[in-house]
Structure 1
Amino acid sequence: MTASPRPAGRPLDTGVRAALLRATQDLLIEEGYERLTCDAVARRCGSSKATIYRRWPGKLALVIAAAQELFPVPEIPDTGDLREDLLACGRAYLQEDGRSQQVLTSLHTAARHDLELRSAARAALGSPVDRLFSDVLTRAAARGLVPAGVDLGILAEVFPGIAFHRAAALGLPVDDPLILRVVDQVLLPALRHA
C-alpha cells in the first residue's frame, strides 16, 4: 500500500483559521457585511489576504464559514417521544450568547439586498436546521404518531418561521420559553386536531 502524496506547501494552521473566523465575526458585528473586506479581516489577524484565499475563495465563503462556526447543525433527535423530539429541534435554534444573535442579524440585514448572500446563508445555515422539524414529523407520521392528512410541510415551517421573525424582525433571541410555547401551544395541538 502506498501513501498518498503530501499536498504541496505547509499544512494549514487551524489556529490561524480560528482567528480568521473570529475576526470575520467581529467585523460582521462592528461593520456589517457590506463594509467587511478580506483586507480588514487579514489586518485584524495580522496576516495576509493570501492566507484567507488559501482557505476560502472569497468574502462570501469566508463569511458563511464564520457564521457556521456559531450555528452547528445537530443530529436529528430520536428520543422516542414526539414532544421531546420537537423540543430538541427547537433547541437547535437557541442562541445562548449575544454574539450569535449579532452575526445572524448582520447577515439577515445584508441578505435582504444581496441574493447571492441570501442563497448561500439559507443553504448553509437555514436549510440544515429547518430540516430537523420536517425529518422528525415525517418519521413520526411513519410511526403512526401523526394522523393521516396532516400537512407536515406547513407544520415543519412553523417554528423556523417564528424563529426567523424573532431574530430578523424583532432582534430577539430564541429562548426556551418560546420553544415550549410553540411546541406545546401550536405544533402539538395542530397535530392532534388535524
Structure 2
Amino acid sequence: MAGDEAAQGGGRTRRRGAALEEAILCAAVDELTESGFAGLTMDRVARRAGTNKNAIYRRWPNRLALGTAAYGRLAAAVRPPDTGSLRGDALELLRGANRHWSSPLGAILRELMAAAGGAPEFLAHLAQPADTGAAPWLTVLGRAVARGEAPPEALHPRVATVAMVVLRDEFVVRGAPSVPDDVLTEIVDEVYLPLIRSRARGTPD
C-alpha cells in the first residue's frame, strides 16, 4: 500500500491529515480495548486502519505514545462532585477513581503507567483525561476555600492531587486490584485533609 492510501469501496482514496489521524486513533482504540497495551502493535494498528506503519510513526514515535493517545480517547472526563464538604467531595473523587482503576479500562491505564515508568511526558498525558487530573480536585478545593473550609494557600495542583497520588501508588506500586473503602477514608482523613489544613500555616510548596 503506497503512501497513506487505503482502499475504500471500489477505488482508492488518499487520506491525509486529520482524516488519516482519526482512522489510526480509532484503530488503536479498538486494538487497545481488545488486547490491552501488551497486545498493541504498530503492525496491527496499521492493518486495522488500512495504512502503513510509516504513517503512524510520523505522528506517534512509538507504541507507548500511540497507546497513551488512544487511552485519552477512551477515558471520560470527571465531573466534580458537590457534597457540600471537602471531605465528602474528596471521598467521592477517590471512589470514582477506584472504580475506574479497578475496571478493564483501568487495567489498560495501569499497563500504560507501568510502561511509562517515570517519564513525566507520558504520565501527564495519562493523568489529564482520567480521574487523576488536577482539574476536578482544584474545583472541589476552590469550593472549600469559598466556604471557609480550606485556606486559599491550599489551591495548588500538587497539593490538590496528593490523595490521587497516594491512591495511584496502591495500584501501581502495591499492585492492588481494588482499594477498600476504609483505605480511601484513611487517605482522606490521615493524609489529604491534614495537608490542606497545614497550608494555613504557610507551609512552602
Give the TM-score of the pair, scaled to structure 1: 0.65
Find out whether 1:141 has 2:145 as its counterpart.
yes
Q: CA RMSD in A?
A: 3.8
Q: Which amino acid aligns with 1:120?
A: F
List aligned pairs for 1:73-88, cutoff 5 A. Answer: 73-88=77-92
Q: Which has the higher contact order (CA 8 A, sep 6+)?
A: 1
Q: Which amino acid aligns with 1:121?
A: L
Alpha carbons of structure 1 residues 174 and 19: separation in structure 2 relative to 1, 3 Å: same
* 5+ residue gaps, structure 2: 1-13, 201-205
- The answer as to whether partners of 2:32 and 2:70 remain within 8 angstroms in 1 is yes
* 5+ residue gaps, structure 1: 1-7
Find out whether 1:130 has 2:133 as its counterpart.
yes
Counterpart for residue 76 of structure 2: 72
Q: CA deviation at 1:143?
A: 2.3
Distance 2:82 2:49 in 1: 45
Distance 2:196 2:15 in 1: 57
Counterpart for residue 11 of structure 2: none
Q: Which amino acid aligns with 1:47?
A: G
Find out whether 1:57 has 2:65 as its counterpart.
no
Q: CA deviation at 1:26?
A: 4.3
Counterpart for residue 123 of structure 2: 121
Alpha carbons of structure 1 residues 151 and 74: separation in structure 2 relative to 1, 3 Å: closer
Q: CA deviation at 1:156?
A: 2.1
Partner residue of 2:163 out of 159, 162, 170: 159
Partner residue of 1:180 out of 175, 185, 201: 185
Distance 2:123 2:91 in 1: 24
Secondary structure of 2:133's partner?
helix
- The answer as to whether partners of 1:23 and 1:41 remain within 8 angstroms in 2 is yes
Q: In the comparison of the two structures, how many residue pairs are matched? A: 175
Find out whether 1:106 has 2:96 as its counterpart.
no
Distance 2:85 2:152 in 1: 21
Secondary structure of 1:93's partner?
helix
Alpha carbons of structure 1 residues 149 and 81: separation in structure 2 relative to 1, 3 Å: closer
Distance 1:49 1:78 in 2: 47
Give the TM-score of the pair, scaled to structure 2: 0.62
Distance 1:150 1:167 in 2: 29
> Which deviates the most, 132-141 or 21-30?
21-30
Distance 2:23 2:102 in 1: 22
Alpha carbons of structure 1 residues 46 and 151: separation in structure 2 relative to 1, 3 Å: closer
Alpha carbons of structure 1 residues 65 and 149: separation in structure 2 relative to 1, 3 Å: closer
